[in-house]
Amino acid sequence: MYSTFRDILICIGFLFFGILLCAQNPVIEQMEHVSKLPDVEFYDVTEDPQNYIWLAADKGLYRYNGKSYKRFSHPKQKANSLFQLKLDQEGRLWCNNIYGQIFYVEKDSLKLFYDANKLVKGQLSPFVVLDNTIRLFTTSGIYDIDKTSKAVIQVFKGMCISNANDGPVNYTFIINFENEIKRHRIYKFEAGNQIKVLEINSHTRIQSPKLFVFSNTVFFTHKTAKGNIIYLINKTQNNSVKIKTPIQLQNLTIYNLLKFKDDYWFLTSSGVFVFTLKDHKLVFKEQLFKTESITDVEVDFNNNYWFTTLDNGVFVSPNLNIRYVELNTIEAKVSASCVLYDNRFVLGTTQGKLLFYDKDQLVKTIQLPGNKNIGNLYFDFDKQQLIVSINASESFVVNLNNDQVSDVSNTFSVAKTFSKINDTTLFYGNYRQAIVYTNPFKSPNKNIIRSSRVKTSIVGDNQLFVSYIDGFYKYQLDTFSSEEIKYNSNSLLVHAMTKYEHTIWLATQHNGLLKYKNNTLAKSEFQLPHQLQINDIQSDADTLWISTDKGLFQYQPKINLLRSLSTQDALNTAVDDFLILQNNIIVTLPKAFYILPKTEALFKTFKTANIKVEAVSINDRDTIIKPKYKLPYNLNKIGIAFNSNGFLTNQHVNYQYRVKQLDTSWQHIPPYTHSVHFNSLSHGTYTVELKAQNESAKSPVYASPINFIIAKPFWETYWFYGLVLVSIFGLVWLYFRWRLRQKETQRIAEIDKILTDKKITNLRLENLRSQMNPHFIFNALNSIQDYIISNEKALASSYLVKFSRLIRMYLEYSQQNEITLEEEIKALQLYLELEKVRFEDELDYQVHIEEQLHTKQIKVPSLFIQPYVENALKHGLLHKPKNRKLLVEAKMIQQDKLQITVVDNGIGRKQSEKIKRSNQQHRPFATKANEERVHLYKNKLKRDITITTTDLYDENNVAAGTKVVITMPIH
């Protein structure tokens, strides 16, 4: 039994052309969000042969490579703003500024071609790039500037305001002053000839004249007080006709006019107006971006549309066919959708509102009683009944013939799926039961065929297929007897299915996409990229539409063709619910929906721009880019930076590399990475190959290979091996030669040592002879004799003992090169005791040894000190009558040196020399011997012994003795 709400408020609003709805627009990507834009005010955009996008902006000229922007400027540039981007036959980009400077881009920098300030006089003048000249249109005439010589020739005199060219043919708007009548003309310049194709007589100057030339016609527009005027010029007949200005363009500022296929795009201060031209009439098709001031449009190599604006930067429409409708008038979210018929559909919201659309136009709304959360919708075309299932114990039926809403309680509440079995039978599944209703709209009869959570259902080939949370079942329509369909003996979890001809396509949770035909399950012939999870699948004529988290796919089983719509088409969403209309696909979102036309133009053919090697680094230092490098072994750290130009290539182009000598297969480069690095390459030849492929393109592109030849380290070269062998032989020869020389040196050293030892021995003997000279022995024996005669037997005996001991010491020490300091001092003291007797006790001597000296360990040359003491006695003190004093002192200096001092207060060396000359028989043999010994010790034995002799004087400068200082190292 139905409950009819006669008194409830049904809000039905008929809206005309989107009064309550923002007009549809193509899907776009704001470049400000893709990569930080350098400006917001842009005038022109173009794509060069290398697929760079060039932008002329208020702040200058910029080039976009898919990742970032590079600014081009010139040091002599007088104005930042650049305009009129043009490409010549060589692919060079040309532009100019208001000041009159003309620039071109070459070798990655902006070059100043010509400064035409005196010609343009502060006006932005049109120019054309010809083969050999630049043609400039100014307020004083038309000038040709030779590309090579920069020579300027005036080819026409007159005030040129606007120009448009078709190759070498130019259409120019010119103002002439003749007899105070202002005549405004358009001339056609071709092959040196000029033809007047339009003349306008006006006493007021025409405002904003613009010319636009196309393949078969030329448009001329200008402003008047009554609005825009439009003329058409026939290129063949060279005549013109004034056409009616469409009302949409009447009072707008027209920035540009472009033609795409058969459509004319007027770029205005209120967006883009698209017209077709039929019988000299502009027929309006649509308006795009009505809130934007569009200045230029460029279609790149991947059919992306670039739009520049005067105040909102740049945006790109990756797929102009996909339109986006934003639901600005509702606060709730779209929670359900349903196809009605033709191109009509209905959306249900979380606040109980039904929105009825015809294409993109909202034609009426119905508000259900209360804020109901609509969970599902089902439309019975034959009955014209719309079932509205609420996500609660409620449901409604709306009669679309009269928009009457009936409350049917929980008959269709919390629905998961509906399937029409026949005109009187309807399958309905919810979160806990599978139900078959007979006469569902009038006195429904309920039949529960299974108690389980239903996911989806479909009717095909006189059978009902139902997917439950625990399996997939097939029902016979006459008895509703069931049979579980399993795959590889396992229960199937199916979350979406559709019927195509006599096949049921199943989207499963664990087994991918399956086909059920003739009671047999089989895998599908195709696989989705990356094994995507399918959200929904629907059939449409000979096509399957499949929604995934990565976009929407179209599959044509008969030709096994799979195509996709994804983020590259600005379908930047995980597609879940979608509707198939007569002409369009509707993809619903919580606050908007996409409109996709079912045409071939919907799917683009993607290409990949050529890979450009942007930098090569060797050992982290950039170098000139070359196809081949020859490097020494230590320059073996290689880096290559590259890029494939294009819109969003960072996201959608995959790069791979291969080094032929190292890799058997291509190596993947991580996303957002535009370089490869090779560290510590060993010697050899390496060929680095790069390839790039747009993820939606059919084939990759390849960069020119780069060869790196890294030389062997010198220690691995043949010449080094030869050098090593030669060196080994040379070292062996040098070794044996050195050994021979060493032996020879050793032999000479031994001989020299023998000679030295012999000489030292001779010197010792000479020293001994001097010490045991007859005079000393005679004096000693004479002293003994005197003691004997004087009957001083004890003294004689003592003296004899001392004399014999001294003689024994001399004989013993003379056999040794070195003796201890203690032995030397003992011999010296014994000698002084004997000499004191000779001086009849008129000799006062002292021998002072420093306490810290280790006299038993310190070695000194044998009998080395005694000759200097003897000299002091014999030549200094002997001739002094009295007060004879002698001091012998030994001490350590500088930690490792021994200093021995012999000081006497004798007559001095000068007086002694005089006496010696008168008595030549007394010669200082021992002193000379010592000097030779010192020389031998220094040069042969490397022992540094120094002897200094100093004359002493008293305060009257009278000789007061001699001081001998002996310094030698302690060892």
Could you report the per-residue pLDDT of 880-899, keeping only the tens digit for each? 888 889 999 999 888 788 99
pLDDT at position 12 is 36
pLDDT at position 761 is 59
CA distance 393 to 416: 14
pLDDT at position 182 is 63
Counts for the chain of helices (H) and strands (E), in that order: 10, 77
Least confident range of 127-141, 677-691, 818-832, 903-917? 903-917
pLDDT grade for 835, boundaries at 50, 70 and 90: confident
DSSP, collapsed to helix, strand or coil, labels residue 387 as strand
pLDDT at position 762 is 59
pLDDT at position 572 is 73
pLDDT at position 13 is 36
The secondary structure of residue 314, as a DSSP letter, is E
Does the pLDDT value for residue 22 go beyond 80?
A: no
CB-CB contact of 504 with 465 (8 Å): yes
CB-CB contact of 505 with 524 (8 Å): yes
pLDDT at position 913 is 80
DSSP, collapsed to helix, strand or coil, labels residue 332 as coil
For 735, residues 6+ apart whose C-beta sits below 8 A from its C-beta are none
Is the model more confident about 934 or about 37?
37
Class of residue 917 by CB neighbours under 10 A (exposed 0-12, middle 13-18, buried 19+): exposed
Length of the chain: 971
pLDDT at position 203 is 67
pLDDT at position 919 is 56
Least confident range of 249-258, 309-318, 876-885? 876-885
pLDDT grade for 785, boundaries at 50, 70 and 90: confident
pLDDT at position 18 is 35
CA distance 818 to 344: 129
pLDDT grade for 760, boundaries at 50, 70 and 90: low
Nearest to 11 by CA among 516, 351, 445: 351
Residue 790 CA neighbour count, 13 Å, CB half: 11
pLDDT at position 804 is 85
Tell me the DSSP string of 701-765: EEPPPEEEEEPPPGGGSHHHHHHHHHHHHHHHHHHHHHHHHHHHHHHHHHHHHHHHHHHHHHHHH
CA distance 770 to 858: 25
pLDDT at position 719 is 85
pLDDT at position 16 is 33
List the end-to-end C-alpha distance of the chain, in Å, as a whole number.
Answer: 133
pLDDT at position 184 is 85
Both tokens of residue 452? 């389980």
CA distance 756 to 100: 102
For 579, residues 6+ apart whose C-beta sits below 8 A from its C-beta are 337, 338, 339, 345, 585, 586, 588
Q: Where are the alpha helices (DSSP H) in 864-962?
A: 866-871, 909-918, 925-939
Does the pLDDT value for residue 474 go beyond 60?
A: yes
Does the pLDDT value for residue 568 go beyond 70?
A: yes
Determine which helix (DSSP H) or strand (DSSP E) holds 835, and give its type and residue range. Answer: helix 821-838
Nearest to 575 by CA among 552, 598, 602: 552
Helical axes 793-813 vs 821-838, angle rounded to 10°: 140
Both tokens of residue 176? 């002439």
Average pLDDT over residues 940-944: 70
In whole angstroms, how far apart are CA 392 and each of 370, 376, 931? Answer: 13, 11, 130
Class of residue 41 by CB neighbours under 10 A (exposed 0-12, middle 13-18, buried 19+): middle
Query: b/e per residue, 918-935, with b = 16+ CB within 10 A?
Result: eeeeeebbbbebbeebbe
CA distance 436 to 477: 10
pLDDT at position 766 is 55
Residue 443: left if φ>0, alpha if ψ -120 to 50, beta else—which one?
left
pLDDT at position 759 is 63
Contacts of residues 698-704 at CB distance under 8 Å and 24 or more positions apart, as own/partner, are 700/608, 700/656, 701/608, 701/609, 701/610, 701/611, 701/644, 702/611, 703/610, 703/611, 703/612, 703/613, 703/642, 704/613, 704/627
Q: Where are the alpha helices (DSSP H) in 647-696?
A: 649-652
Least confident range of 254-268, 558-572, 740-754? 740-754
Alpha carbon of residue 92 to chain centroid: 28
In whole angstroms, how far apart are CA 843 and each of 834, 871, 882, 908, 953? Answer: 11, 14, 8, 16, 20
CA distance 923 to 921: 6
Both tokens of residue 584? 């369009």
Does the pLDDT value for residue 320 go beyond 70?
A: yes
CB-CB contact of 968 with 897 (8 Å): yes
In whole angstroms, how far apart are CA 30 and each of 90, 230, 312, 862, 896? Answer: 32, 33, 9, 107, 90
For 702, residues 6+ apart whose C-beta sits below 8 A from its C-beta are 611, 689, 690, 691
Average pLDDT over residues 407-416: 95
pLDDT at position 593 is 94
The side-by-side arrangement of strands in the sheet containing 141-146 is: 127-129, 133-138, 141-146, 152-156
Is the model more confident about 17 or about 68?
68
Least confident range of 47-61, 692-706, 862-876? 862-876
pLDDT at position 245 is 95
Tell me the per-residue pLDDT of 634-644, one tens digit each, with 9 for 90 and over.
999 999 999 99
Does the pLDDT value for residue 11 go beyond 50?
A: no
Least confident range of 191-195, 314-318, 598-602? 191-195
Does the pLDDT value for residue 927 go beyond 70?
A: no
For 842, residues 6+ apart whose C-beta sits below 8 A from its C-beta are 882, 884
Alpha carbon of residue 894 to chain centroid: 67
Tell me the per-residue pLDDT of 98-142, one tens digit each, with 9 for 90 and over.
999 999 999 999 999 999 999 998 889 999 999 999 999 998 899
Express as a percent the part of the chain with pLDDT over 90: 60
Average pLDDT over residues 163-175: 90
The four Cα atoms 548, 554, 556, 559 give a dihedral, to 10 degrees, of -100
Mean pLDDT of the chain: 88
pLDDT grade for 667, boundaries at 50, 70 and 90: very high
The four Cα atoms 232, 235, 236, 240 give a dihedral, to 10 degrees, of 30
Please give the model's pTM, rounded to 2 decimal places: 0.74
Which amino acid is located at 511 in the chain?
N
630 beta partners: 709
pLDDT grade for 870, boundaries at 50, 70 and 90: confident
CB-CB contact of 174 with 157 (8 Å): no
The four Cα atoms 329, 334, 336, 342 give a dihedral, to 10 degrees, of 40
pLDDT grade for 774, boundaries at 50, 70 and 90: low
Does the pLDDT value for residue 504 go beyond 50?
A: yes
CA distance 525 to 514: 9
